Amino acid sequence: MIYYFYSTMRLYHISELEQLSGIKATTIRVWERRYDLIRPGRTDTNIRMYDDDQVRKLLNVSTLLASGMKISYIAELNDQELHSAVLDLKNGEGEGDDTALAFVNDMVGGMLEFDEASFEKVYGAAVKKYGVFDAMLKVVYPFLQKIGLMWSVEDAMPVQEHFASSLVRRKLLAATDLLTVRRKSRNKFILMLPPGEWHEIGLLFANYIIRSKGGDTIYLGQNVPYEQVPLIIEKAAVSHVLLFFTTRTEDGNLSGLRKRMQLPKDISLLVAGSTAVLEDMQYGRHTHLLESPFELLNFL
């Protein structure tokens, strides 16, 4: 049976469903035919579309698959049984990726519903299980990756991602405020978004990681002119400068940017951001690409 959608609810293309669930679009189509797992609606041009309930169901399926369950078994579960199985997984004693994924998928579900209470509950449970630092790395970071918030352009985000961005930003600021400020550290980082860059989530995440591991930061935030950096270097013993790029820069030669910031050779330039932007850049000596927060830890 084919369903047609006429409501104004948020609907998702199969490519978005793939991104949110981590399950390939081809696999989703096979499961639709073989197990009647979910039933997409159709637009008047016969394009598959999925609603929030179907997204949440596939998120639960993704969680149970990661725990080792077979799709043939999962497909036999009704919605209540599916929910109970995921709940049992989260309440278990396991520390593996499947348990963390359950938290991540619950965060996605809270985002889709604009449900702040649910989001807070999931975050609290993750912190209780892992502690703040590991909850950030095992749950919050994968959540940001899954919905594309780490390196996205803020103006292009759907409203649900704006909602999630606001909540995560608040958590990162609160977690950072709880850290002890160290007077002296051999690692002092300037953290900044270059001119024209406004998306701050990745920078806030880096700030939290560095401070958690005993490093010191000079947090400059958004849209900072490169020419301001030498003024800081004159006053502080800086060891690293960390930049985030989410939009294409006119000057893709990072050696040139080092000169504009007047960085001495003993100061490392760390660069993170959108893969599409970073792959076009030219990297010189003393410049390092960070593809994840785990690589940042190597400098601490």
User: Nearest Cα to 169, choosing from 134, 207, 131?
Assistant: 207
Q: Can you tell me the mean pLDDT for 281-297? A: 83
Query: SS3 of 156, please?
Result: helix
- The CA distance from 67 to 98, in Å, is 5
The reply to whether 10 falls in a domain is no
Domain containing residue 269: CATH number: 3.40.50.280
Query: SS3 of 172, please?
Result: helix
Lowest mean pLDDT among 8-12, 83-87, 117-121, 131-135: 8-12
Q: Is residue 278 predicted with pLDDT exceeding 60? A: yes
- The CA distance from 147 to 126, in Å, is 18
- Structure pTM? 0.83
The reply to whether 128 falls in a domain is no
The reply to whether 223 falls in a domain is yes
Which two tokens mark 288?
């390092």
* Structural domains in the chain (count): 1
User: Nearest Cα to 240, choosing from 222, 215, 277, 208?
Assistant: 215
Which two tokens mark 233?
């270097």
The reply to whether 288 falls in a domain is yes
**pLDDT tens-digit profile of 31-47?**
999 999 988 888 888 88
Domain of residue 288 covers: 181-297
Q: Residue type at 144?
A: L
The reply to whether 39 falls in a domain is no
pLDDT of 97 reads 72
The reply to whether 260 falls in a domain is yes
The reply to whether 280 falls in a domain is yes
The reply to whether 203 falls in a domain is yes
Query: SS3 of 89, please?
Result: helix
Share of the chain above pLDDT 70, in %: 91
**pLDDT tens-digit profile of 216-237?**
999 999 999 999 999 999 999 9
